[in-house]
Amino acid sequence: MALYNIIHFLEEALNNIRRNTFVAAITVGTIGIAFLIFGIFLIIFSNLNDITSTWKEQIQVVSYLKDGLSNAEIISIEDKIKSEREINSVAFISKEKALSEFRKDLSSQTGLLEGLGENPLPAYFEIRLKKAYQDPKSILSLVDRLKKIKGIEEVQYGQEWVENLSSFLDFLMIAGMIVGGLISLAVILIVSNTVKLTVYARKEDIEIMKLIGATDWFVKAPFLIEGMAIGFLGSLMSVILLFGIYQIIVQNLPLNAGLLFGRFSIAFLSWPDIVVLLIAGVLLGLFGSFVSVGRFLKV
């Protein structure tokens, strides 16, 4: 009996779509465009998030040492730094190595260093942080503790750059939630109105079914399946369009565009993202039709 009901519900949902092919097609197209907009934003967000994650991995704290420290004192300072929970790696740069790297950076202007005499550059530690501690609050807390270590003269970490990066990521997250919320609301309203048209077109049939004892869920089921199907087709359409647009953009992207982001290529949505997008279409379609049918049946 349950299998018969399922087949009946599927047939009725398919018949509803066939009776209103034009309206269903318009609805699927509208949902597809709505999800397309969200998909474009999702691709931009995920790629920018990958870029900023790469940038965050390059965040480092530099602890400059006082002159005249013995090897034992330097080792002691390094051990204290490594004991901090935020630390991922520590590299010691001696005064000589610091000067050598400085000469390399100047390259053609090495003449500026002639007659320099005594090496004025301090030795320092390059400190890289664990991923979980690359936010401004954790970095500032670590810097405060490093400054208290005897032998460390100054600590630098590019405070303004780190804070701006963190604010940018927060902005992307909030913008994504707002866009996703608006599109979800739009899809619910679109599906709700579409199913409502189907319900009113079959008003007399529904009333007859109710008179002969059909339960509310028996009446609702085909319309709920219809909403799910419309939502799924709309989200599927958006993925197909999105992939086509992605291919066009990637193929026509100037080769020198990578200079902005280094060794970075634009990535399409991951399979989990695609599955989530399709499931979202189904769920929003289901909810939209549930709202519409529920109002009609006053349940």
Q: Where are the domains of the chain?
A: 2-55+165-296, 60-157
Per-residue pLDDT of 43-85, as tens digits, reads 887 887 777 777 767 778 888 888 888 888 888 989 998 998 9
| Residue 63 Cα distances to 74, 99, 125, angstroms | 12, 16, 5
Rounded CA separation 22/29 (Å): 11
CATH number of 60-157: 3.30.70.3040
pLDDT score at 256: 44
Across the beta sheet with 152-156, what order do the strands follow? 87-93, 124-129, 60-65, 152-156
pTM, two decimals, is: 0.66
Per-residue pLDDT of 215-247, as tens digits, reads 777 777 888 888 888 889 999 999 999 999 888
Tens of pLDDT, residue by residue, the chain (299 residues): 466 567 766 777 777 777 778 878 888 888 888 888 888 888 887 887 777 777 767 778 888 888 888 888 888 989 998 998 988 888 888 877 877 776 676 665 555 555 555 767 788 889 888 888 887 888 888 889 988 889 888 888 776 666 777 777 778 778 878 887 888 888 888 777 777 777 776 677 667 777 777 677 777 788 888 888 888 999 999 999 999 988 888 777 654 445 444 555 678 888 998 999 899 889 888 888 887 777 666 64
